[in-house]
A and B are shown apart, each in its own frame.
Chain A
Amino acid sequence: MEKIKNLNKFTRTNIRAYGLIILAFIVLFPLQSTGIISNSISGQLVPICTYIVMAISLNLTVGFLGELSLGHAGFMSVGAFTGVITAICLQEVIPSAALRLLIAIIAGGIAAGVAGFLIGIPVLRLRGDYLAIVTLAFGEIIKNIINCLYVGVDSNGLHMSMTNAEALGMINGKLIINGPQGAVGITKIASFTAGILLILFALFIILNLVNSKSGRAVTAIRDNRIAAESVGISVTRYKLTAFIISAVLAGMAGALYAMNFSTIAAKKFDFNTSILILVFVVLGGMGNIVGSIVATALLYILPELLREYADYRMLIYAIVLILVMLLTNSEKAKQMRERFVYKWKKRLRKNNDQQEGLKNG
Chain B
Amino acid sequence: MTFISNLINGISLGSVYAIIALGYTMVYGIAKMLNFAHGDVIMVGAYISFCVTTYLGFSPFVSVVISMIVCTILGIVIERLAYKPLRKASSLAVLITAIGVSYFLQNAALLIWGSAPKTFTSIVPFGSIALFNGQLIITAESIVTVLACILIMIALTLFTRKSKMGKGMRAVSEDKAAAELMGINVNVSISVTFAIGSALAAIAGVLLCSAYPVLIPTTGSMPGIKAFTAAVFGGIGSIPGAMLGGVLLGIIEIFSKSYISTNLSDAIVFAVLIIVLLIKPTGLLGKKITEKV
Q: Are the chains A and B members of one assembly?
A: yes
Q: Are B82 and A226 in contact (CB under 8 A)?
A: no
Interface presence of B122 (CB below 8 A): no
Is A258 engaged at the interface, CB distance under 8 Å to the other chain? no
Residues on A close to B: CB < 8 A?
62, 68, 122, 125-127, 129-130, 132-134, 136-138, 140-141, 144-145, 147-148, 162, 226-227, 230, 271, 275, 278-279, 282-283, 286, 311-312, 314-315, 317-319, 321-322, 325-326, 328-333
Q: A residues within 8 A CB of B271?
A: 137, 141
Question: Which residues of B are at the interface with A, using a C-beta cutoff of 8 A?
Answer: 28, 34, 82, 85-93, 95-97, 99-101, 103-104, 106-108, 110-111, 221, 225, 228-229, 232, 236, 261, 263-264, 266-267, 270-271, 273-274, 277-278, 281-283, 291, 293
Q: Tell whether, in the assembled complex, residue A325 and residue B86 are in contact, meaning their CB atoms are under 8 Å apart.
A: yes
Roughly how many angstroms separate A141 CA and B28 CA in the complex, as a whole number? 25
Contact A227:B229 (CB < 8 A) given known A129-B34, A282-B92, A330-B89 = no
Tell me the bound Cα distance from A275 to B101 in angstroms.
13
**Pairwise interchain contact B100-A325, C-beta atoms closer than 8 A:** yes
Q: Which residues of B contact A122 (CB under 8 A)?
A: 274, 277-278
Given contacts A318-B107, A329-B89, A330-B86, 9 further A-B contacts (CB under 8 A): A122-B278, A126-B281, A141-B271, A145-B264, A162-B261, A162-B264, A321-B96, A325-B100, A326-B82
In the assembled complex, 23 residue pairs joining A and B whose CB atoms fall closer than 8 Å, in A order, are A62-B92, A68-B92, A68-B95, A129-B236, A130-B232, A130-B277, A130-B282, A137-B270, A137-B271, A138-B274, A144-B264, A144-B270, A145-B267, A147-B263, A148-B263, A162-B261, A226-B293, A283-B96, A321-B96, A321-B103, A325-B97, A326-B86, A331-B89
Give Cα A286 to B89, complex, Å. 14
Q: Is the CB of B100 within 8 A of A322?
A: yes
Decide if A133 touches B86 in the complex (CB within 8 Å): no
Within the complex, which residue of A125, A271, A318, A332 is in contact with B225, where a contact is CB–CB below 8 Å?
A: A271
Chain A residue at minimal CB-CB distance from B28: A129
- Residues of A near B274 (CB, < 8 A) are 122, 134, 137-138
Among A62, A133, A328, point to the contact of B229 (Cβ < 8 A). Answer: A133
Interface of A is mostly: helix
Residues of A close to B99: CB separation below 8 A = 275, 278-279, 321
Q: Are B100 and A130 in contact (CB under 8 A)?
A: no
Chain B positions within 8 Å of A314 at CB level? 103, 106-107, 110
Shortest Cβ gap from B97 to chain A (Å): 4
A315 and B236 contact, CB distance less than 8 A: no
A148 touches B232 (CB 8 A): no
Contact B100 A227 (CB under 8 A): no
The CA-CA distance from A272 to B42 in the complex, in Å, is 18
Given contacts A312-B111, A315-B108, A326-B86, contact A130 B103 (CB under 8 A): no
In the complex, A278 Cα to B282 Cα: how many Å?
A: 24
Complex-state Cα separation, A62 to B91, whole angstroms? 12
Is there an interface contact between A315 and B86, defined as CB atoms closer than 8 Å?
no
Q: Are A125 and B278 in contact (CB under 8 A)?
A: yes
- Give CA–CA (A145, B278) in the complex, Å: 21
Residues of B within 8 A of A315 (CB): 104, 107-108, 111
B165 CB to nearest chain A CB (Å): 26
Chain A residues within 8 Å of B111, by CB: 311-312, 315
Closest to B105 in A: A318
User: A residues within 8 A CB of B282?
Assistant: 130
